[in-house]
């Protein structure tokens, strides 16, 4: 289809990009285009479509809720779907308080603001924030400041606050030098924590947007212990990793760490509706209870705790908890297919955790702008598979409901694309 005269697509340079594909419908792991073609959505539509498109149980829950209460201001009111979701997520995360927002970036903003103001409410002079090299936490200003400075943030550099950086010792299959890199990163963290620190933020187990960079649980446990000993708060950004993506309901649970603040979105509603939540400990919540107005957390969104989003999230949790083997065993589905693909001469640094499998393509610059990603995307589209490589990093992150045959087709499409690169 031609470019629509009134739409502005995200992260897209119209001057050099192909025209968008017009989608008619989605069902399970497939998208149906206007021209009748079907594509396997191998990246869960930017990691949000958790179970599959048009999941009947979630659609039905939204429909029921829409007939009862579709929206109400949450500053003066509460409602049952929000209360149920808060109770369930508190039990699952061991964080007692839930603050609603609209998306992943704002969930991170809320976590950052809570951490910063909590120290201020205690008249503390802790001002430093520590993040990790390669991090991505969203596109709003606070989230951009926390993330790696790059092409995406350059235009706004004068408006971003300073953040201390620590190396991210990511690893892959057969990596024999990872322990050395972990020790180096922990030494950097020790040095950074010598400055009074308000909070440390990380993406547990996987940095998604920077290239599916996986770290070992042991590193995260050593990191969390140091943060705790230094008295700083730990913020876990599980916008991507939450809700089964790493083989457990939350990456923090698989890693064995307990954050003070936890940002969630993407798979929260099964991909049906935009919603973000920030989980906080009771200790932090109590730090805002005061007769002084200035101690109040003055933050809110028009659609805070939207009942439709809450209903979708509750239905999605029902599906996850009724079928935990779906995400617990997904890594075993990836592994033999990725092992076979890892024999290709262009494949480097294969890694896999939970529902995510990735590798680097050995060609040219290791960069988001490496054109090899678009070449692979084009080849895979011709094979009926939708991928969106991160430059020279190719990854698969399909919905939980993808069939064995569909997953095999995804790997076959990638193999075909790599063979075409060699031949070309």
Task: Inform me whether the pLDDT recorded for 364 exceeds 80.
Answer: no
| Tokens linked to 260 | 């003070």
pLDDT at position 143 is 97
How does pLDDT run across 171-196, given as a tens digit for each residue? 999 999 999 999 999 999 999 999 99
Whole-Å CA distances, 372 to 151, 242, 375, 381, 419 = 18, 29, 5, 14, 13
Q: How far is CA 44 from the centre of its chain?
A: 12
How sure is the predictor about 62, in pLDDT bands with cuts at 50, 70 and 90?
A: very high
Q: Provide the pLDDT for residue 418.
A: 98
Look up residue 286 and give its two tokens. Answer: 């109590």
Residue 63 has pLDDT above 90, yes or no: yes
What pLDDT score does 424 carry?
81
For 94-116, b where at least 16 C-beta lie within 10 A, e where not — what string?
ebbbbbbbbbbbbbbbbbbbbbb
Q: Which two tokens stand for residue 197?
A: 């620190």
Dist. CA 204–CA 237, nearest whole Å: 7
* Strand runs labelled E in 224-370: 233-237, 261-264, 276-280, 347-353, 356-361
Band (pLDDT 50/70/90 cuts) for residue 52 is very high
Regarding pTM above 0.95, the answer is: yes
pLDDT at 176 (0 to 100): 95
Q: How far apart are CA 134 and CA 421, in angstroms?
A: 28
372-386: average pLDDT:
97
Whole-number pLDDT of residue 1: 62
pLDDT band at 363 (very low <50, low <70, confident <90, very high): confident
Q: What average pLDDT does the structure give for the chain?
A: 97
Q: How far is CA 100 from CA 47, 265, 301, 347, in A?
A: 20, 10, 8, 41
Structure letter (DSSP) for residue 208: -
Report the pLDDT averaged over residues 127-156. Answer: 96
pLDDT score of 367 more than 90: no
Across the range 84-103, mean pLDDT stands at 98
Crossing angle of helices 404-423/330-341, nearest 10°? 20
The residue ranking higher by pLDDT, 141 or 367, is: 141
Q: Name the percent of the chain lying above pLDDT 90.
A: 96
Q: Report how far apart the first and last C-alpha atoms of the chain are (Å, whole number).
A: 28
Q: What is the pLDDT of residue 412?
A: 98
Report the pLDDT averaged over residues 276-294: 97
Map tokens 């209870």 to a residue: 289
Instruction: List, in order, residues 6 or more apart from 58 with CB less than 8 Å away.
Output: 51, 269, 270, 272, 312, 315, 316, 319
Give the mean model confidence (pLDDT) for residues 264-289.
Answer: 98
pLDDT in tens, 298-353: 999 999 999 999 999 999 999 999 999 999 999 999 999 999 999 999 999 999 99
């Amino acid at each position: 289809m031609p470019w629509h005269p009134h739409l502005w697509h995200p992260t897209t340079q119209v001057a050099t990009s192909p025209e968008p594909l017009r989608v008619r419908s989605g069902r399970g792991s497939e998208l149906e285009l206007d021209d009748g073609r079907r594509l396997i959505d191998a990246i869960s539509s930017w990691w949000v479509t958790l179970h599959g498109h048009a999941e009947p149980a979630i659609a039905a829950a939204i429909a029921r809720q829409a007939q009862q209460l579709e929206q109400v201001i949450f500053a003066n009111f509460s409602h049952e779907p929000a209360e149920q979701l808060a109770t369930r997520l508190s039990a699952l995360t061991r964080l007692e308080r839930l603050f609603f927002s609209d998306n992943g970036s704002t969930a991170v903003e809320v976590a950052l603001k809570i951490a910063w103001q909590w120290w201020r409410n205690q008249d503390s002079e802790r001002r430093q924030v520590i993040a990790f090299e390669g991090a991505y936490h969203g596109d709003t200003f606070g989230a951009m400041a926390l993330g790696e400075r790059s092409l995406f943030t350059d235009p706004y550099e004068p408006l971003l606050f300073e953040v201390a950086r620590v190396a991210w010792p990511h690893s892959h299959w057969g990596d024999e030098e990872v322990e050395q890199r972990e020790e180096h990163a922990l030494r950097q963290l020790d040095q950074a924590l010598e400055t009074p620190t308000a909070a440390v933020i990380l993406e547990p187990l996987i940095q998604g947007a920077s290239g599916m960079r996986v770290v070992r649980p042991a590193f995260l446990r050593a990191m969390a212990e140091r943060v705790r000993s230094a008295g700083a708060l730990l913020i876990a950004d599980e916008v991507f990793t939450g809700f089964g993506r790493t083989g457990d309901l939350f990456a923090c649970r698989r890693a064995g760490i307990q954050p003070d603040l936890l940002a969630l979105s993407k798979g929260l509603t099964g991909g049906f509706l935009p919603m973000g939540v920030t989980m906080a400990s009771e200790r932090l919540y109590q730090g805002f209870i005061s007769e002084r107005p200035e101690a109040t957390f003055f933050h809110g969104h028009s659609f805070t705790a939207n009942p439709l989003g809450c209903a979708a999230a509750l239905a999605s949790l029902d599906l996850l908890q009724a079928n935990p083997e779906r995400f617990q065993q997904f890594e075993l589905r990836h592994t033999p297919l990725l092992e076979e693909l890892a024999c290709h001469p262009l494949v480097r640094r294969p890694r896999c955790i939970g529902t995510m499998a990735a590798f680097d393509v050995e060609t040219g610059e290791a960069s988001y702008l490496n054109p090899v990603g678009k070449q692979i995307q084009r080849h895979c589209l011709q094979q009926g598979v939708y991928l969106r490589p991160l430059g020279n990093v190719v990854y698969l992150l399909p919905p939980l409901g993808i069939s064995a045959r569909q997953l095999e087709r995804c790997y076959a499409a990638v193999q075909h694309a790599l063979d075409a690169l060699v031949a070309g």
